[in-house]
Amino acid sequence: QSALTQPASVSGSPGQSITISCTGTSSDVGGYNYVSWYQQHPGKAPKLMIYEVSNRPSGVPDRFSGSKSGNTASLTISGLQAEDEADYYCSSYTSSSTHYVFGTGTKVTVL
Amino acid sequence: EVQLVESGGGLVQPGGSLRLSCAASGFTVSSNYMSWVRQAPGKGLEWVSVIYSGGSTYYADSVKGRFTISRDNSKNTLYLQMNSLRAEDTAVYYCARAGPAAPRSFDYWGQGTLVTVSS
């Protein structure tokens, strides 16, 4: 099971919107609405930001939104803030024998 | 309050064994899907293993046959037995809960425990 593909880095200025893509296959991203997104600050544990493609857990700002089209899922951060600078990972359930797969990760920089 | 606290990490020689523990509070381990996820130094997240509430277990290809996930319901604790360790197993190991409302997502994570495989 190969990792889902994400851009290595994305940057934006405060207040702007950015979008991170997560590309898989019909066996994972495209086949199930079980895409999640995690935020990780340096030295910290990951934090769930989006689950089941587009749902936000309680406490996650509505600046974070998720979507999916075919085999590609996306995380959009609107109104970018300094504290959004972190690494972001997507994950998906997969029909392979391993059941779960993470993306390669994207470093978000706030200029 | 949901909490996950890992322990058991450390330095081990190649070919050696280590058992990681993840003590849970605020919920019942056996009623949830529980996973181990690892992160090599400077690298991304890698899913390692899952144990479902029914007891079924699954593993990443990279650890299959060497690692075993289990739980002790009386202690509300998750374990990862790691055998035949290799240098490439060096990582911070996190335990994570798949929440009951979204069982394919990890809503709570421990702080992680570092495993270093080196001679």
pLDDT of residue A20: 98
Strand pairing partners for A41? none
Are B102 and A51 inside 8 Å of each other by CB?
Answer: yes
pLDDT in tens, B21-35: 999 999 999 999 999
pLDDT of residue B102: 85
H/E run at residue A67: strand A64-69
Enumerate residue ranges in chain B where pLDDT < 70.
none
Q: By CA distance, what is A51's nearest residue in B? A: B105
Enumerate residue ranges in chain A where pLDDT < 70.
none
Smallest CA-to-CA distance from A39 within A89, A82, A81 is with: A89
User: Which member of A45, A47, A101 has the closest CB to residue B47?
Assistant: A101
pLDDT of residue B33: 95
pLDDT of residue B100: 81
* Cα–Cα distance, A47 to B115 (Å, whole number): 21
pLDDT in tens, A61-85: 999 999 999 999 999 999 999 999 9
pLDDT of residue B69: 98
